[in-house]
Chain A
Amino acid sequence: MRNTSINFKSQVTIKLADVKLQGALSRLQTRFVEGRSAVIGEIDDLPATRTAAAAIRDRVLNDLEHWLLQFEQQATARGAIVHWAETGEDVNRIVAEIAAQHGVKTAAKSKSMVSEECGLNDALELAGVKVMETDLGEYILQLAHEAPSHIVAPVVHKNKEEISDLFAEKHQLPRKTGIAELCREAREVLRPAFLNADMGISGGNFLVAETGSVLIVTNEGNGRLVTTLPRVHVAITGIEKVVPTLDDVTTLVRLLPRSATGQSITNYVSVLTGNKNTEDHDGPEHFHIILLDNGRSSLVGSEMQEMLRCIRCGACMNHCPVYQNIGGHAYGWVYPGPMGSILTPLLGGLEKSPDLPNASTLCGACAVVCPVKIPLPDLLRKLREKQMERGMKSRQETFMLKAWAWLALHPAIYALTTKIGVRFMSVLGGRDKLLHSLPGASGWTNGRDFPAPAGRTFRELYQQGKRK
């Protein structure tokens, strides 16, 4: 997927004015935020469980090379073929080669954000393989030629009327209006795709080093179908997804669906190990696992390594006041919200996403809900520091920050300046005590008023209080 995060600001303006999108986003907020809070308490000791989950991820990330080797060895011993890909293009080439090797004409695909990184579908179509997305949300997006706007609920930006119109047009069937009818129609249209596909393509939520297994969580059952029926299965995931043992992955599975969709467990948790035995009735004859780097290894051992703990639950975006107002498309790449504001610049280049590290109020909600305790606001702040170091900030912002720093280092002048400043602003605020515009800060005051100060500084009031 092409990275268009350079256009963040202009996209935000469009998204804020999009009435349909705003309606859709408020629904996401209620369902996912309330959903999580309703079930997260089922975990007996949540703080200890989050700490354990973070430690499980760190155990692997601190020795990633050896855990990857352990996974590869176990997976290979069971008959899977493990491929390594430096970039998204490499993934596309490998999948096309596998398709050619096995005479694959059609592929059924379950949701994979990593494949979105690669732009896999377009590449496979070019290679002559017909790809069918089978996750309902991704299928709708494939029909509409759109990109996902949420990593868990990819089609959150569309309402059911739009989906009704789309199905009526593309399926050439009478227009359905009920959600259950729309789901039934998609099921009936997609069932032959599962039965006829030569290849199934899936992501992988986790890789279990103990057994060489790929673990997938799904609700619709399409993940099970694409990994059971076609004769070839290709699982694509990031190199950071390794987890040591089945017990370790269970701790993460306890947190993932609760954090993501407010479910105690997803309908299906599939642990896939190796290819089909001679006596088995079902399962793929060939099982390929593709491990994608795409910039991830550059975070290992760096001050940003904690980002690799991410288990892609989406809780940070569901709870982010910025995401809640602009949706996912404005972020310009696969991953939106706080985790995307960190990952997109790290994997795609900070210079291509100058606005993303700043697209946060640093309110901290994301860090509070993150099941693996990623200090997201700290990482955003570190990216802002990097921008400052590399001279990527505007001249105005650099000047303001330098002026502030100088002022803060000279207490007497600071006291005098603020004393004058608050009195001046208090007078300007007038009777309603609001400033409608501030010189040099129109970006802030264009959208809201600035509350005028009370007329005296905190230090003055404090001194007065002490005298009483």
Chain B
Amino acid sequence: MNARDKILGRIRTAQARQTTGAHVETISSHLARHPRGPLPPSPDDLVACFRERAIKLSSDVLEAKDRMEVPALLARYLDESKLPMRGVCWPSLAELPWNAAGLEMQSRPATNQDMVGVTGAFCAIAETGTLMMLSGAETPATTSLLPETHVAVLDPCRIVATMEDAWDLMRKECKQPPRAVNFISGPSRTADIEQTVTLGAHGPYRVLLILAPF
């Protein structure tokens, strides 16, 4: 008997249950219903709530009139923070007027040399000021991970109240979960040395969220 059969056999004996259809039935009905646990009260203003929570978790937040204004806002931010005026972006953002704002932006996945990575987001969660990223050919995961500065351009319409709402949106719009769903809440951090929080561990040192209506 292999390890799998031994482990499952021990569990079966311990619970003294027969392999009947009843349990499988309960399991499939729970999966189909996927009921929610107790939820936080829904905020009146999703965008304001998202902003406040994101700032609390050390993200920077800027608001643009529309997507066309994003490059100019980003250029000012990078300049003020004395950061490089070039980076990489997701293909969906390649058409924004980066050059006109004085930025050099390449549409490709990030490598270790890239200092600024600009992404979109699948949606965002007001409860914790969190971005939800789905991996895919057009949404490489490295762009939000390898560069020291991660910039996410987010349509305020895509802010939902809770992570449960975000899962529902994913169930509605995608056939199945992508290889990686990454929830991002601010810059990477560690408190391993003397429990002192330090921003910028192995991921980005800073996260800039630009809210821009599509």
Q: A-side interface residues toward B, CB under 8 Å?
A: 24, 27-28, 31-32, 42-45, 48-49, 52-53, 56, 59, 62-70, 78, 84-86, 90, 134-137, 140, 153-156, 159-160, 163, 179-180, 182-184, 187, 190-191, 194-195, 209-211, 213, 219-222, 224-225, 227-229, 239, 244-248, 250-251, 253-254, 261, 264-277, 279-283, 291, 293, 297-298, 300-302
Besides A49-B37, A211-B177, A224-B141, 13 other A-B contacts (C-beta < 8 A): A52-B38, A85-B3, A134-B202, A160-B193, A163-B193, A180-B198, A228-B145, A228-B180, A244-B27, A247-B167, A250-B163, A269-B182, A280-B135
B6 within 8 A of A: yes
B180 lies within 8 A of A62 (CB):
no
Given that A56-B37, A267-B185 are contacting pairs, would A183 and B200 also be in contact in the complex, using a CB cutoff of 8 Å?
Answer: yes
Q: Mark B85-121, 1 if CB is under 8 A from A, else 0.
A: 0000000000000000000000001001000000000
A179 lies within 8 A of B196 (CB):
yes
From 160 to 198 in chain B, residues with beta carbon under 8 angstroms from any chain A beta carbon are 162-164, 167, 176-196, 198
- Chain A CB within 10 Å, residue with most, of B7, B53, B137, B204: B7
| A123 CB, min distance to chain B CBs, angstroms | 17
B183 lies within 8 A of A43 (CB):
no
A220 lies within 8 A of B15 (CB):
no
Chain B residues whose C-beta falls within 8 Å of the C-beta of A180 in the assembled complex: 198, 200
A267 lies within 8 A of B8 (CB):
no
Q: Which of A65, A160, A224 contacts B145 (CB 8 A)?
A: A224
Chain B residues whose C-beta falls within 8 Å of the C-beta of A154 in the assembled complex: 192
| A184 CB, min distance to chain B CBs, angstroms | 7
Q: Which of A210, A267, A301 contacts B14 (CB 8 A)?
A: A301
Chain B residues whose C-beta falls within 8 Å of the C-beta of A210 in the assembled complex: 31, 34
B36 within 8 A of A: yes
Q: Which of A31, A187, A272, A277 contacts B195 (CB 8 A)?
A: A31
Interface size on B, residues (CB 8 A): 72
Given that A49-B38, A282-B140 are contacting pairs, would A153 and B191 also be in contact in the complex, using a CB cutoff of 8 Å?
Answer: yes
B23 within 8 A of A: yes
B182 lies within 8 A of A251 (CB):
no
| A141 CB, min distance to chain B CBs, angstroms | 10
A187 lies within 8 A of B202 (CB):
yes
Given that A221-B201, A273-B179 are contacting pairs, would A267 and B186 also be in contact in the complex, using a CB cutoff of 8 Å?
Answer: yes
Q: Which of B3, B15, B38, B57 contacts A264 (CB 8 A)?
A: B57
Q: Which of B12, B57, B137, B181 contacts A281 (CB 8 A)?
A: B137
B11 lies within 8 A of A64 (CB):
yes
Chain A residues whose C-beta falls within 8 Å of the C-beta of B195 in the assembled complex: 27-28, 31-32, 153, 156
CA–CA, A301 to B57, complex, Å?
42
- Chain B CB within 10 Å, residue with most, of A90, A136, A140: A136
CA–CA, A81 to B29, complex, Å?
26
B31 lies within 8 A of A301 (CB):
no
Q: Which of B11, B26, B136, B162 contacts A300 (CB 8 A)?
A: B11
Chain A residues whose C-beta falls within 8 Å of the C-beta of B56 in the assembled complex: 264
A179 lies within 8 A of B193 (CB):
yes
B2 within 8 A of A: yes
CA–CA, A137 to B197, complex, Å?
13
Q: Which B residue sits closest to A65, measured CB to CB?
A: B11
A220 lies within 8 A of B135 (CB):
no
| B19 CB, min distance to chain A CBs, angstroms | 8
